[in-house]
């Protein structure tokens, strides 16, 4: 009789465990984001800038803006050779979250790149014997 009681108790415990597992897993699947809710992330992570930009912009326009979305737009614009737009997005990210270190870093990188391009362009307009030209070349070599 003891063995049959243990067997019934074991079956009961297994049923409870199985039921709890099913409930847990079904709850997880209900809370799992749909593929579409993260499609902007998959586009962004795969480097599909055009699609990612469109989807992120739509998300922002629907009222779901946050610093990370603007940071991602800044990265897209920076990689798409649109530094002015990248600066706007990084600044908006920092407006929303002044402690967004990645946005602050990338904003600095964009400004630095623009400065280097301006220095490079400026040297083209200076006379060959201008003293400032040597200084500009030193600056450019340091990068």
78-106 residue pLDDT tens: 999 999 999 999 999 999 999 999 999 99
Q: What is the pLDDT at residue 47?
A: 87
In angstroms, the CA 41 to CA 35 distance is 10
* Residues contacting 78, CB < 8 A, separation 6+: 86, 106, 109, 110
For residues 68 and 119, which has the higher predicted lDDT (pLDDT)?
68
**Average pLDDT of the chain to the nearest whole number:** 77
108-135 residue pLDDT tens: 889 888 887 777 777 777 777 777 777 7
Q: What is the pTM of this model?
A: 0.63
């Amino acid at each position: 009789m003891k063995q049959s009681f243990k067997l019934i108790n074991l079956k009961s415990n297994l049923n409870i465990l199985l039921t709890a597992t099913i409930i847990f897993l079904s709850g997880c699947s209900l809370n799992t984001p749909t593929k579409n809710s993260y499609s902007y992330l998959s586009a962004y992570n795969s480097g599909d800038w055009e699609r990612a930009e469109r989807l992120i912009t739509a998300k922002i326009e629907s009222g779901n803006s946050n610093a990370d979305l603007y940071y991602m737009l800044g990265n897209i614009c920076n990689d798409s050779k649109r530094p002015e737009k990248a600066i706007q997005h990084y600044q908006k990210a920092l407006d929303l979250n002044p402690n967004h270190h990645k946005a602050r870093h990338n904003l600095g990188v964009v400004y630095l790149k623009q400065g280097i391009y301006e220095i490079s362009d400026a040297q083209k307009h200076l006379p060959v014997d201008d003293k400032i030209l040597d200084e500009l070349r030193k600056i450019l070599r340091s990068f």
